[in-house]
Structure 1
């Protein structure tokens, strides 16, 4: 499995979704296929959404899940063995255990590592100790684990085998009230990925916008020639106009890049930042029409600390 995320706090559901969305937009590799999303609601009840293809954008997530206090996700390429919930196990009133690589690897006792962690938490062991003990007993299994208790306690770690990989990344943060951990492998990006995903998720966990923001092309908009590349948005973050210094773009009749990397972003005419991930759309007659689905119509921007 390529990425696992768990969080506790005011908007844990939004946080884990933001991390995987960022991975799909920033990265290349085994991503955008299967996904398992799990939450514990306010009563401690467990609920899942799963998909074999399409990644995070293919999951029909209830709005209420975005403010779930305990949430986790795991995702990788498509068409994985059923049931998909074997990769992210949970129990009502106990917690959730996700991870990366193969968190469901069988230990020497024949019990899956993620299930063994969950059972330890159920017996009263804190998640950090549960993860450490299970991984220490199976150092050469190909597994990384992230466990979140129903009380919000968080534990994470990689086996000795996974620690030797040079394609792994991780992010953890805890401010006492909110906790977040993510781990990934085999996702290739032009930028340090784990830190970017963590930053995006941490802001979402607190219900605020961070330096990295996700914007969407929700409807068809004009594409006009201009001296420089720019994306104009309204006060709600909706794209209103695309300007491009590429003279071919406004007369293109094809599917292709409509918003270029590095384009300036302007909100009601005021520069606020720069495009971090390109967006592909249907181009015809000087109009850019979004592709179906939430992820293909989304792009990330970085917002300047000081707006000129």
Structure 2
């Protein structure tokens, strides 16, 4: 099949490795789906011979061995999904990598455990990073300023939300919910973000009025923190805002005044329950 470009083998009972595959460097394969199988930790060696491979889906292999993704020849790879696996080493070696998905990998130490990830995070080509539902601890890392999507919810990150996020001029989606971040929300936080979720942390302090500059903001979720503030009437100046979730905080005072009729022309969801 010399012209095969996409191969779907997900949700089978494939076992061991793929050493028997005809992995010719002249193959036109660009996308391989192998999720939900029982392939061994050596799965990557034969796959790395597909030099034109752009998308590789290897999530949830149900194997007891760790996957060693180190110094292999994925030079054209743009998307890599390793969710739900144990990963021993990580260095894709692809200068074109745009999307890296590592949710549910039970990773605890960051970046010590993945010593080569720091270089990867600063890779200028990386566009989307998914680290959800791991056990990452400590401070949030410095990431590429070109990232559009950062998903890092359901971890154990601590410390303040880093000021380095203020440099994310391309960021559209930021999800840091369900961590242990503390301190206040940086006043300089992002100018192009559309969706931000900082819910269920330990954030305190007033909401930065600089948020009104986020003209593209669509959703804002800050529930489950300890923010003591009056209702942020200036949110109505955000023309595209559709979702506001501020529940379980310490907001106080009125939510209506003649000067602020709460127009919100695009609003679809408004939750301020459990506030004091």
> Which has the higher Rg, Structure 1 or Structure 2?
2
Please report the TM-score for the alignment, with normalisation by the length of structure 2: 0.33
Which of the pair is proportionally richer in strand?
Answer: 1
- Identify which of structures 1 and 2 has the higher relative contact order when contacts are C-alpha pairs closer than 8 Å and 6+ apart: 1
Which of the pair is proportionally richer in helix?
Answer: 1
